[in-house]
Structure 1
Amino acid sequence: MKHYTSLLFISSLLFCWMFISCKSTQRLTDWSLVWEENFNQKKGFNEQVWSKIPRGGADWDNYMTDFDSCYAMRKGKLVLRGIVNHTQLNDTAPYLTGGVYSKGKKVFSDGRIEIRVKLDPAKGAWPAIWMLAENADWPVGGEIDIMERLNHDSIVYQTVHSYYTYTLGLREYPKSGSKGMIDPDCYNVFAVEMYPDSLSFYINNIHTFTYPRIQTIEKGQYPFNQPFYLLIDMQLGGSWVGTVDPKELPVEMKVDWVRFYQQKSIK
């Protein structure tokens, strides 16, 4: 009986995988792949597209570094690491983190961007994939959070920020964020579709929520119809994620690929 139950369970999982795969493949037939990054370089990432994120004063970038130990190219993956600072004696930060962005090099608009990534867990780990406006300051230019994961969670957060949501505090009309389940032990695919009148978010090709442009007298509700650059970073600590447990470090964020699609023209 146990053997029969196990077979039924495996068959059910296989059916679900085939159904989701078929559904996602059918959806993406309306899109054309126009650019991709597979991180197949043996040494170093493509510097024509990516730069290391410099140190800043916010929670998300106050441990960023160009230290080589926080970056690796491993079996076709870009590996971004969060580590305890044991060796950089001239750097007083207790932790060091790696992150890359395409600022000033590669921008995206009017299309679908997907990122396949595996997120290792740790207390205080805060990996993120997000976008900022290339030609406008925050929050006026807007922020698109494709994925943020905290600690050991089996959920991720997908959110938009703008003058409308942040400065004016208007986060519920329309709803500015959502949570979705991931498989914490596997690679997951996170995506956003960028339209002139909406942003649609996905996790493993399952739609999570849509943020629309609405008619309103308030300023800055939809600044997302412009070029954005992409940030991928392994963050540690901060007021949202909480304190870091150094015993759970190093922690890694493994990026398999980034793909950008645009809709096929209707003939």
Structure 2
Amino acid sequence: MIKHILFFLVFSLGIAHLAQAQFNPSGTGYKLVWQEEFENSEQVDPAFWSFENGFKRNNELQWYQEPNANVVDGRLVITGKREKVKNTNFDAENTDWRRNREFAEYTSSSINTRGKYEFQYGIMEVRAKIDTAMGMWPAIWTLGVNNPWPSNGEIDVMEFYRVKGEATILANAAWADEGQYNAKWDNAKIPFSNFLQKDPDWPNKFHLWRMEWTEQSIKIYLDDELLNEVDLARTVNPDGFNPFHQPHYILLNLAIGGNNGGDPSATTFPKEYVVDYVRVYQK
């Protein structure tokens, strides 16, 4: 009996050690400082996340709403649906597309940590599985806490959409150019076919996106492959402010259609964007 107890204790300690070891990112000196494992409830944790609601940007087709984001078996599941919902902000005479559409034909969710968790520099890792069907536009991104877009700075750790009709994985950063709402971009656009050639089953698997952010640079990786490196010496707004030298908050969303998503009319719904975890490490 004693031997069995000792074996159980050693085995348990070993499992605990392995569980702890997974929180060591590449590069020494980093420690886990924030994590969302999506294991606490069936609903998105309001202590960590806020929801966007309604039509938001890029002429996208989806109406963002809370019910489309749920926690299932320890994972965040954002579901894109084809369903008709009333635009509560409808105004037929308004010139803003967010107001003059009477209905949305699709729904989805967008969540963010603004005002609840923000960080400056470090490593962010997100393990996720994306749906690559026509019309899908999933994203992992951050925005700076100060100034309107694009003066606040945007980091696209992951975007998937169509570029000139071709399915593409993107890793980007944006900051302000001259003129209101004009952005400068440092884009990496990798044809999705490159990933399918390596693994035809790629869309059915989880993948690890990682952003390594220092005062000097932003490096964005997918499954340890460097997709883009942004030199922060040149990401300066016209007023001299560098938006990547300030805290950012995290956004996770599944957009549908719009400027870049493509036409989802022939796509079978529902569609799921699944996030296993979000982790942030700092020195």
Cα 1:218/1:234, change in 2 over 3 Å: closer
How many Å apart are 1:100 and its aligned residue? 0.7
Pairing 1:55-134 to 2, within 5 Å after superposition: 55-59=54-58, 63-68=62-67, 70-86=68-84, 88=85, 92-134=103-145
Cα 1:168/1:184, change in 2 over 3 Å: same
Pairing 1:90-239 to 2, within 5 Å after superposition: 92-150=103-161, 155-164=168-177, 170-171=184-185, 176-180=186-190, 182=195, 183-214=202-233, 219=238, 222-239=242-259
- What is the alpha-carbon distance in structure 2 between the residues aligned to residue 65 and residue 141 of structure 1? 23
How many Å apart are 1:260 and its aligned residue? 0.2
Cα 1:59/1:216, change in 2 over 3 Å: closer
- What is the alpha-carbon distance in structure 2 between the residues aligned to residue 32 and residue 217 of structure 1? 29
Kindly indicate whether the alpha-carbon contact (under 8 Å) linking 2:62 and 2:106 is maintained by their aligned counterparts in 1.
yes
- What is the alpha-carbon distance in structure 1 between the residues aligned to residue 253 and residue 204 of structure 2? 19
How many Å apart are 1:237 and its aligned residue? 0.4
Kindly indicate whether the alpha-carbon contact (under 8 Å) linking 1:119 and 1:254 is maintained by their aligned counterparts in 2.
yes
How many Å apart are 1:165 and its aligned residue? 8.9
Larger of the two Rg values belongs to structure: 2
Query: Identity across aligned pairs (percent)?
Result: 27
- What is the alpha-carbon distance in structure 1 between the residues aligned to residue 59 and residue 154 of structure 2? 14
Pick the structure with more strand per residue: 2
Kindly indicate whether the alpha-carbon contact (under 8 Å) linking 2:120 and 2:246 is maintained by their aligned counterparts in 1.
yes
Pairing 1:25-36 to 2, within 5 Å after superposition: 27-36=26-35
Worse-superposed segment, 216-225 or 141-150:
216-225
- What is the alpha-carbon distance in structure 2 between the residues aligned to residue 40 and residue 156 of structure 1? 28
Unaligned stretches of 5+ residues in structure 1: 1-24
Kindly indicate whether the alpha-carbon contact (under 8 Å) linking 1:122 and 1:245 is maintained by their aligned counterparts in 2.
no
Cα 1:40/1:56, change in 2 over 3 Å: same
How many Å apart are 1:109 and its aligned residue? 1.0
CA RMSD of aligned residues (A): 2.9
Secondary structure at 1:33's aligned position in 2?
Answer: strand
Aligned length: 234
How many Å apart are 1:61 and its aligned residue? 6.0
Kindly indicate whether the alpha-carbon contact (under 8 Å) linking 1:55 and 1:61 is maintained by their aligned counterparts in 2.
no
Secondary structure at 1:248's aligned position in 2?
Answer: coil
Question: Which residue of structure 2 lines up, in the alignment, with residue 242 of structure 1?
Answer: 262
Question: Which residue of structure 2 lines up, in the alignment, with residue 20 of structure 1?
Answer: none
